[in-house]
């Protein structure tokens, strides 16, 4: 029996997540509809497809009008995601891992310790080192690689944060590494900058852009025209970096 004392908001919250579809330029597009206590309609596209976040009271007709007006953007970004190849690393010896845009190879030293060497370095250990008596599991290799990445990320990103803080003339902020799936970085109003550890795999120019972007929030905590002027002052080529990051996803 229906609870007659439920409020209208409570009943709406029962319908917060809903699988729906719409026809955009002769294509049927599936999406996840999420109702939230918000004022605007938000669209997001990632490897899971299209997600539409709307106010609790939004009607389906108003939501579909927004989607129709953004049809080109929706289809273009969905197609771009289909073209992306998500490559999982192989947790084994002699696999390739990227650091600041350069390939590194995981090897064993003569003392049977794991080490990363640039792939261009022909002086690295011989391939037959994998026949060592040391049996390494994928979990052990993953643990080593992730520790290496985080160490490199903290070292290089700390240098870049200090560099751009100096250019802006702001106090050196506290740096934290994040594992966010959808954001390269963030900056809190308390002056803490969070940078995604995965950035360390990208070329330094892109790392610099994200650092410059987040530190600019210490001057302008928004994305206004004034904010972008601050970014451009310390990183003039920010538009090219934005486009490159969008292609990476």
Max Cα–Cα distance, the chain, nearest Å:
76
* Sequence-distant (≥ 6) Cβ neighbours of residue 6 within 8 angstroms: none
More confident residue, 38 or 248: 38
pLDDT in tens, 182-227: 788 888 888 899 999 989 998 999 999 999 999 999 998 888 999 9
pLDDT in tens, 130-143: 444 456 778 888 88
Dist CA 108 CA 218 (whole Å): 44
- Reduced to 3 states (helix: H, G, I; strand: E, B; else coil), residue 56 is coil
More confident residue, 124 or 154: 154
Query: Which residue segments constitute the domains of the chain, with CATH numbers given?
Result: 8-83 (no CATH), 96-142 (no CATH), 148-248 (3.30.2010.10)
* Dihedral sign (CA 28, 73, 179, 190): negative
pLDDT in the model for residue 88: 52
Alpha-helix runs per DSSP H in the chain: 8-13, 60-69, 71-83, 138-168, 204-216, 225-234, 238-248
């Amino acid at each position: 029996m229906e609870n007659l004392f439920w409020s209208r908001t409570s009943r709406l919250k029962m319908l917060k997540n809903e699988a729906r579809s719409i026809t955009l330029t002769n294509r049927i597009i599936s999406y996840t509809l999420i109702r939230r206590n918000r004022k605007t309609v938000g669209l997001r596209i990632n490897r899971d497809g299209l997600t539409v976040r709307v106010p609790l009271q939004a009607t389906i007709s108003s939501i579909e009008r927004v989607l129709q007006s953004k049809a080109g953007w929706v289809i273009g970004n969905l197609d771009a995601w289909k073209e992306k190849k998500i490559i999982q690393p192989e947790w084994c010896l002699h696999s390739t891992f990227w650091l600041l845009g350069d390939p590194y190879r995981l090897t064993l030293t003569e003392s049977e310790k794991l080490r990363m060497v640039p792939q261009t370095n022909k002086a690295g250990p011989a391939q037959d080192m994998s026949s060592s008596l040391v049996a390494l599991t994928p979990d052990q290799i993953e643990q080593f690689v992730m520790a290496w990445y985080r160490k490199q990320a903290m070292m290089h990103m700390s240098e870049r944060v200090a560099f751009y803080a100096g250019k802006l003339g702001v106090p050196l902020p506290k740096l934290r590494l994040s594992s966010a799936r959808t954001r390269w970085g963030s900056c809190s109003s308390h002056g803490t900058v969070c940078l995604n550890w995965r950035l360390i795999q990208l070329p330094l120019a892109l790392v610099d852009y994200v650092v410059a972007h987040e530190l600019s929030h210490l001057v302008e905590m928004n994305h206004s025209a004034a904010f972008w002027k601050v970014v451009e002052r310390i990183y003039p080529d920010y538009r090219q970096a934005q486009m490159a990051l969008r292609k990476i996803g």
